[in-house]
Structure 1
Amino acid sequence: MTRGRRRRWRLGLGAAVGSLLVGTAVLPSSAADAGGAGDGGAVADATDYSVTVDPNRSGAAIDDTMYGVFFEDINRAADGGLYAELVQNRSFEYSTADNNGYTPLTAWKTNGTAKVVDDDGRLHARNRNYLSLAAGASATNSGYGTGYTLKKGEAYDFSVWARGDSEVTATLGDADGALATPRKIRTRGGWAQYRATFTPSQDTTTGRLTVATTKDTALDMVSLFPRDTYKGRKNGLRKDLAEKVADLKPGFVRFPGGCLVNTGSMKGYDEASGYERKRSYQWKDTVGPVEQRATNANFWGYNQSYGLGYYEYFQFAEDVGAMPLPVVPALVTGCGQNKATDDDALLKRHIQDTLDLIEFANGPTSTKWGKLRAEMGHPKPFHLTHLEVGNEENLPNEFFARFKQFRAAIEAEHPDVTIISNSGPDDSGTTFDTAWKLNKDAKVDMVDEHYYNSTRWFLQNNERYDSYDRQGPKVFLGEYASLGNQWSNAMSEAAYMTGLERNADVVKLASYAPLFARTDTVQWKPDMIWFNDQKSWGSADYEVQKLFMRNVGDRVVPSSATATPSTLEPITGAVGLSTWATSAAYDDVKVTGADGKTLLSDDFSGDAAQWTGTGSGSWSVQDGQYVQSDAAAENTLVTAGDPSWQNYDLHVKATKKSGKEGFLVAFGVKDTGNYYWWNLGGWNNTQSAVEQAVNGGKSTLLSKAGSIETGRAYDIDIKVRGRQVTLYLDGQEWGSFKDDKPAEPFRQVVTRDKATGDLIVKVVNAQESAARTKVDLGGADVADSATVTTLTAAPDAENTATDRPVKPVTSRFDGVADRFTYTFPGNSVTFLRIKKG
């Protein structure tokens, strides 16, 4: 996940994504009802298509591991999420260094004399703090929300580490009183762990755990764990969340990040001096007994306990039948930090840590790290076959110099492990091109690509991998999603996935991202699985991923389809000015039509009455310039002009006054969610790009490295002709593009399941009108019926905690023949499984 990309991580953009093709027609509940019986005439406004299959040719083989999941601890996906521990801040390690709102007693309420202590009497060197309770004092924990969700009659295992001669009383209750008989524990001497079990007498969503002492006592690692975890694992996973992942039947699990891997200090824990709180995720911090694991400040703004560590990740992958795919830091930071570590000794240490990781996963129990794995409960190897070095680095040369050292060391000892590189945080641009050239020249096995784009981009770029070099590195699409969780987003992703399958000889692995989002802690949207303390639900995107993962097939059967007629209108829209985490001044704005007529002219010698905005930022006329003075405000877009304008020239003079980035000049502005803008000095003032927003979701059309100087006035000119745009900076042409690629709504792919012999016809119809389709199976030997699974809903439909408008409907179609007609509903994803005749 990329924090530095403004179009990526800010909720305000992603949350507003809507439909590319607006329409809410009432749709049939199954494909058979949609005229699929063969006549194709039962649906009004149907559009004619054809799909032609060639069963005599062989397409790309599809690996069992093609589709998987990517877990990153974002949106509280781990603590308070997948990790089943109910006690928040169980070891009193929270700190203002992690989050300005934190203290060592966050989530705790004390009564009597209580203080958090950091001294030589601690439980363990990596577990710095503990709670000192005076005689008669108590402490109550409220969990991650309004209290614990507890179920009547189920077992909850309490444990605590204590030091001192005392009686500790543990009480489980809620606002209405006790939920179970209090447990009294006699503690003696030095640090020891004490256990008890609670069985609540009723359901509650506001549970609390209180610990009280009769004498002065030190407490640490206060825990309350549901016994009913996924697969019954101790220190295990929240059952409903893990089951939703297992139900996908993923081919792999990529972990632990993401930005957690390549941000913060790379130094890690040091026995003598403790540890830097904000450091990258390093696997050795996360294994061994939980009371000896170091905590860390999560990149996404909260604390992570590492109770869910590398051992648990490996075990989870094994439990769901997936290949583990860990990611280790390459000592080049990303996600907006963009620094390369030059400490050679530290680099060598991380390389050795990576070799040790492979030993931990695969080594015999006679080795140091294989022995630790066995001691943790898994003497058999985890069968690690793939490992990724680095994540989305924006410094390709610096990253690759370090990657080569990792690769050489790993190949020397473990030649059977596939080592994965990456191509930066974007789908294109200077960093992407440079990274791919380095990877190809070095004959890297596999390259990880990441991108988050608009629905339009995904419908436009189905053929992306058709032209990739079949002899070059394979592709791991490690993170992708359209920016939203509506059905229109999921449809666009489904359409794109047909292209991934068609190119399964190049795209070997693919995972939607992110995986989880806790509803009260959302740093990023979209997300596949949403949850709160009481329940969890799959998004529309989840339903698409599940349908594809469970119906992959083993080999592509070559096929073709007709396209949707498309007439692209000229780019139309008003103009705009904006900033992002920057103060800037604008002057001499002029818009001239192609006929030379002045459409807008503003030198700000008076007021700024021609400009309107959403209220973000602080805009005012100062000394004959239009100034946005709030250097912390983001997306301060103000607009002027007519949304119907086309074929015009825009001129503006812009000066950066202060802040992190440059400035943004918009054109083709239809509304606050649909526009183009030239982003000069974006990405922490490291590159410039033209971005297109469609219903709030952005895609990059053109990008180059470069920065903007503070205090320097720049002349910016944008020439719009039809769908051709040319951009000039200080009188020199900076770049041009033609936005003329159609967003094709009708996409398909056909695969064959070797085990069953089924032919699987997968069709996406991402438009309101139904698609009456002639299907020619090319003489394939097939039965006369098919099992049909259909996902269909209004484009703006979104699954929530209380409503699930996007869900699969299964039906039977009895009109299958060598040639038959089937009508695919509007706004639908349909899979026909046709058995062998």
Structure 2
Amino acid sequence: MSRTARPRLGLALLASAFLVAAATAVPAPAHAEEVTDYSLTVDPTAKGPAIDRTMYGVFFEDINRAADGGLYAELVQNRSFEYSTDDNASYTPLTGWTADGTAQVLNDPGRLGDRNRTYLSLAAGSSVTNTGYNTGIAVEDGKKYDFSVWARAGSGTTLTVTLHDTGGPLATARRVAVRKGGWVQYGATFTATRTSTTGRLTVASSAATALDMVSLFPRDTYKHQPNGLRKDLAEKIAALRPGFVRFPGGCLVNTGSMRDYSEASGWQRKRSYQWKDTVGPVEQRATNANFWGYNQSYGLGYYEYFRFAEDIGAMPLPVVPALVTGCGQNKAVDDDALLERHIQDTLDLVEFANGPATSTWGRKRAEMGHPEPFHLTRIEVGNEENLPEEFFARFTRFRAALQARYPYLTVISNSGPDDSGTTFDRAWRLNRDAEVDMVDEHYYKSPRWFLQHNDRYDSYDRSGPKVFLGEYASQGNAFKNGLAEAAYMTGLERNADIVELASYAPLFANEDYVQWRPDLVWFNNHASWGSANYEVQKLFMNNVGDRVVPSTATTTPDAVGPVTGAVGLSTWNTSAAYDDVKVTAADGTTLLDDDFSGGAPAWTHTGTGSWSVQDGQYVQADTTAENTMVRAGDPAWHDYDLRVKATKKAGREGFLVAFGVKDTGTYYWWNIGGWNNTRTAVEQAVDGGKSTLIAKPGSVETGRTYDIGVKVRGRQVTLHLDGQEWGSFTDDKPAEPFRQVVTRDAKTGELIVKVVNAQSSAARTAIDLGRAKVAPRARATTLAAAPDAVNTETSTPVAPVTSTFTGAAARFTYTFPANSVTFLRIKQR
């Protein structure tokens, strides 16, 4: 029997639409039980919020090797021999290189420059070979590649440069004559004679020579820009038609030392990302330790970011540090002189972007090849600070200085690292009270959370700060993740008067160097592919429209029962001991009573770590393991009380006490002393994706025993810590799979009906366009695939299909496929 959606007021007349003959875009399913009936009403005479063309953009951070070895087209890894153990414990100055003969990396007054501190001394008859990234240097038959090197020789010498793989030469060898004297840049060009993904670049010297900045660049960069971008990756961003590019981070911005370079101390590695380090000739730019565990060359710097944004017609949106660290570091730098220097740097940044070529920093931009301004209008100060008071005190000084000199500039603040909680609430209060123009929100949640919270911005104060949703994703790259994000994006568009900017994050991942998942675009050294999430973003970003047209739709019947599941114990980078676990049903029946005096036969180990019974306690001993879950009980348990005693023995965090455990990826847990022992929260995991339901500051003392209690009644959960109620929540918000938004494209005169059907049954929908007169032919673009479908280098199961629909009218029916995103562009007469 088919499920029928609950009607809303004013929609009853639409039932008659199902009784008239109307074309559908896809055949109706064979069985009635595979169809859910919906109604969608559009009011084309009403005026919803305007949507700015810059609403959707991209966020670039150098994570997952997104810059060097990624978007930055340089093919040589560690080209200036600057890799260090400060970047990665396994690194040396010759990482990425192999030497044949005598090759020594030196750091002495003979260096190329103060910020390019190490160089290679190559003995006569010796050579070095670079392995590139991934499997090697990728070249394509017939394409040109430009080689360059800075060299210094005591006498005339010849460098022999070869491009090859195990099968032999990939291009004709080149010989470069190095004159006697100081550092000079030399160059040559290769034309590849074969295609290879495992190439190597070898430089051999006939006499003692010093080398630095060994480079190999494809001639065919994006827009043929010098020091440019890898073409296929840049084209994938351009295909999104982004309204803005947020850069350079992310955690890169406000982590590491905020200090400056000095001749006395030398270059300070693990330094926060500061824009002046990244401009000027590339050989004069420093390298730095990347927060994500590798080296960054700054070859892709602020000038290249601005130039790329201009090339793709996007608004540049840089982020600068506010001297409050984030991303788990949580420290405010108390140095007024340093703060003033950073404020001045930010003023100089605006001059670099917008100042005339006669100004100090405008001249620097012109010298780099761009005399015209970049038209910067928005800038963000800070990123995900978890100390709202300290951050905001510094932010207000940045804002005052920037708006005093550049009153047209929008200065963007943020609300911390979460979608809710104490930090979020306090940050928003400070931003509202100070009448900040825009606040950046970040959150990474489960698909279920995105399906539940389509209405998040419906209740935001329309007179308060606007929202920049700078980072969000649903913790996976399967189509079910894209569907959940698409459903959520309909709510973003509906609230375009509040959410003025939005960008998925992160943007890129090199498949061989991954620190974070999920990611929008994946690549290796020779290929790239968009994820299912990318296809969703592209569909929305290429079909935004100018204004929202108000619409309503029926919803899906609820089938929400009580919280059910077994119980569990876990740790995260922590050793802990658990004892006296007792689970009691609401009627007093004992379901589990375990003091571990007889071992732990009731428990199943489903995670990592090392569990054993020691002195009558169940102990997890590994302080490096993450999610060491053990579970006990019946997945059908509901309405129960869980009690357990827990003692931290060693490590970085506290306890993880789970309830409602259905399987290894679906459960709730009370994370006590998480996030490096700074916060306590309840998280819900659904198919591996987590969402925070309630959070407060909190830490755990080593050696102290805590009495933990969890009371589950229906969908309500109450938590007790040492006999005191810590908090409670009710998880009863439905995860609505059917969502819609309608916009109007003034340029084409079309209504764009956007419908997400994130369920396994088709959605047969009666659509009422009011009294709108429309052409019968409409263009339909559909993404439809299995929920677990994932795009890869060799397979693209999630891809748009465009068709012509000939049944458009003031009232018509349309069957939206199961697990689909559909955009109907309907021409108004």
> Given the alignment of the two structures, is residue 800 of structure 1 paired with residue 785 of structure 2, yes or no?
no
Residue number in structure 2 paired with 1:833: 825
Return the offset for 1:181.
2.2
Return the offset for 1:493.
0.1
Partner Cα distance (2:134, 2:246) in 1 = 28
Structure 2 CA distance for partners of 1:37 and 1:426, relative to 1, 3 Å:
closer
Contact 1:110 1:138 (8 Å CA) reproduced: yes
Aligned counterpart for 2:447 among listed residues 455, 459, 469: 455
Paired residue secondary structure (2:82): coil
Residue number in structure 1 paired with 2:653: 661
Partner Cα distance (1:575, 1:828) in 2 = 35
> Given the alignment of the two structures, is residue 166 of structure 1 paired with residue 157 of structure 2, yes or no?
yes
Letter in 1 for 2:560: L
| Mapping of residues 196-235 of structure 1, within 5 Å | 196-235=188-227
Paired residue secondary structure (2:348): helix
Partner Cα distance (1:573, 1:657) in 2 = 28
Structure 2 CA distance for partners of 1:57 and 1:669, relative to 1, 3 Å:
same
Return the offset for 1:39.
8.4
Partner Cα distance (1:621, 1:258) in 2 = 42
Contact 2:170 2:192 (8 Å CA) reproduced: yes
Structure 2 CA distance for partners of 1:655 and 1:54, relative to 1, 3 Å:
same
Aligned counterpart for 2:422 among listed residues 426, 430, 437: 430
Q: TM-score, length-normalised on structure 2?
A: 0.96
Contact 2:150 2:212 (8 Å CA) reproduced: yes
C-alpha distance after superposition, 1:741-791 (max 9, x if no partner): 000000000000011110000000000100000000011121112100000
Return the offset for 1:273.
2.0
Letter in 2 for 1:145: N
C-alpha distance after superposition, 1:154-196 (max 9, x if no partner): 1100000000131111111111222222211111210000010
Aligned counterpart for 1:517 among listed residues 509, 515, 524: 509
Aligned counterpart for 1:388 among listed residues 364, 377, 380: 380
Q: Kindly indicate whether structure 1 or structure 2 has the higher relative contact order, using CA contacts under 8 Å at least 6 residues apart.
A: 1
Paired residue secondary structure (1:400): helix
Partner Cα distance (1:535, 1:172) in 2 = 20
Aligned counterpart for 1:412 among listed residues 404, 415, 421: 404
> Given the alignment of the two structures, is residue 356 of structure 1 paired with residue 345 of structure 2, yes or no?
no
Residue number in structure 2 paired with 1:301: 293
* Matched pairs, number: 806
Partner Cα distance (2:22, 2:379) in 1 = 47
C-alpha distance after superposition, 1:660-683 (max 9, x if no partner): 111110000001100000001111
Contact 2:22 2:812 (8 Å CA) reproduced: no
Return the offset for 1:104.
0.3
Contact 2:29 2:762 (8 Å CA) reproduced: no
Residue number in structure 1 paired with 2:86: 97
Contact 2:135 2:525 (8 Å CA) reproduced: no
Contact 1:34 1:824 (8 Å CA) reproduced: no
Partner Cα distance (1:546, 1:694) in 2 = 26
Aligned counterpart for 1:151 among listed residues 122, 140, 147: 140
C-alpha distance after superposition, 1:437-460 (max 9, x if no partner): 010011000000000000000000
Return the offset for 1:629.
1.5
Partner Cα distance (1:271, 1:762) in 2 = 58
Letter in 1 for 2:140: K
Return the offset for 1:516.
0.4
Unaligned 5+ runs, structure 2: 1-20
Paired residue secondary structure (1:124): coil
Structure 2 CA distance for partners of 1:207 and 1:34, relative to 1, 3 Å:
farther
Residue number in structure 2 paired with 1:317: 309
Paired residue secondary structure (1:269): coil
Letter in 2 for 1:267: R
Letter in 2 for 1:601: D
Residue number in structure 2 paired with 1:76: 65
Return the offset for 1:111.
0.7
Letter in 2 for 1:369: W
C-alpha distance after superposition, 1:277-299 (max 9, x if no partner): 11111101100000000000111
> Given the alignment of the two structures, is residue 763 of structure 1 paired with residue 755 of structure 2, yes or no?
yes
Structure 2 CA distance for partners of 1:100 and 1:33, relative to 1, 3 Å:
farther
> Given the alignment of the two structures, is residue 112 of structure 1 paired with residue 104 of structure 2, yes or no?
no
Return the offset for 1:43.
7.1
Contact 2:22 2:813 (8 Å CA) reproduced: no
Residue number in structure 2 paired with 1:592: 584
Letter in 1 for 2:86: A
Aligned counterpart for 2:573 among listed residues 564, 581, 590: 581
Partner Cα distance (1:525, 1:278) in 2 = 23
Paired residue secondary structure (2:245): strand
Partner Cα distance (1:417, 1:632) in 2 = 46
C-alpha distance after superposition, 1:488-525 (max 9, x if no partner): 00000000000000000000000000100100111111
Residue number in structure 2 paired with 1:48: 37
Q: TM-score, length-normalised on structure 1?
A: 0.95
Residue number in structure 2 paired with 1:243: 235
C-alpha distance after superposition, 1:177-220 (max 9, x if no partner): 22222211111210000010001111111111111111110000
Return the offset for 1:327.
0.3
Partner Cα distance (1:782, 1:452) in 2 = 40
Contact 2:682 2:694 (8 Å CA) reproduced: yes
> Given the alignment of the two structures, is residue 65 of structure 1 paired with residue 82 of structure 2, yes or no?
no
Letter in 2 for 1:636: T
Residue number in structure 2 paired with 1:280: 272
Alignment RMSD (CA, Å): 1.4
Partner Cα distance (2:580, 2:33) in 1 = 53
> Given the alignment of the two structures, is residue 620 of structure 1 paired with residue 612 of structure 2, yes or no?
yes
Return the offset for 1:687.
1.1
Residue number in structure 2 paired with 1:26: none
Contact 1:39 1:821 (8 Å CA) reproduced: no
Partner Cα distance (1:56, 1:112) in 2 = 79
Paired residue secondary structure (1:467): coil
Structure 2 CA distance for partners of 1:131 and 1:276, relative to 1, 3 Å:
same
Contact 2:72 2:230 (8 Å CA) reproduced: yes
Contact 2:607 2:627 (8 Å CA) reproduced: no
Return the offset for 1:704.
0.8
Return the offset for 1:34.
9.6
Partner Cα distance (2:26, 2:198) in 1 = 53
Letter in 1 for 2:192: P
Partner Cα distance (2:101, 2:454) in 1 = 64
Aligned counterpart for 2:665 among listed residues 673, 692, 696: 673
Contact 1:167 1:184 (8 Å CA) reproduced: yes
Residue number in structure 1 paired with 2:550: 558
Paired residue secondary structure (1:84): coil
Residue number in structure 2 paired with 1:4: none
| Mapping of residues 634-653 of structure 1, within 5 Å | 634-653=626-645
C-alpha distance after superposition, 1:620-668 (max 9, x if no partner): 1111111111122111111111111001000001111121111110000
Aligned counterpart for 2:111 among listed residues 122, 127, 150: 122
> Given the alignment of the two structures, is residue 135 of structure 1 paired with residue 127 of structure 2, yes or no?
no
Letter in 2 for 1:179: L
C-alpha distance after superposition, 1:131-161 (max 9, x if no partner): 0001111001010122111111111000000
Contact 1:40 1:821 (8 Å CA) reproduced: no
Partner Cα distance (1:396, 1:658) in 2 = 30
Structure 2 CA distance for partners of 1:94 and 1:792, relative to 1, 3 Å:
same
C-alpha distance after superposition, 1:51-86 (max 9, x if no partner): 001111100000010000000000100000000000
Partner Cα distance (1:287, 1:117) in 2 = 25
| Mapping of residues 534-545 of structure 1, within 5 Å | 534-545=526-537
Residue number in structure 1 paired with 2:175: 184
Contact 1:676 1:690 (8 Å CA) reproduced: yes
Partner Cα distance (2:623, 2:559) in 1 = 42
Partner Cα distance (2:477, 2:732) in 1 = 26
Contact 2:259 2:271 (8 Å CA) reproduced: yes
C-alpha distance after superposition, 1:544-590 (max 9, x if no partner): 00000000000000000000011211111000111111111111100
Partner Cα distance (1:667, 1:604) in 2 = 19
> Given the alignment of the two structures, is residue 570 of structure 1 paired with residue 562 of structure 2, yes or no?
yes
Partner Cα distance (1:126, 1:34) in 2 = 68
Structure 2 CA distance for partners of 1:33 and 1:649, relative to 1, 3 Å:
farther
Unaligned 5+ runs, structure 1: 1-31
Structure 2 CA distance for partners of 1:279 and 1:43, relative to 1, 3 Å:
farther
Paired residue secondary structure (1:465): coil
Return the offset for 1:615.
5.0
Aligned counterpart for 2:741 among listed residues 725, 749, 769: 749
Of the structure 1 ranges 146-155 and 357-366, higher mean CA displacement relative to structure 2 is found in 146-155
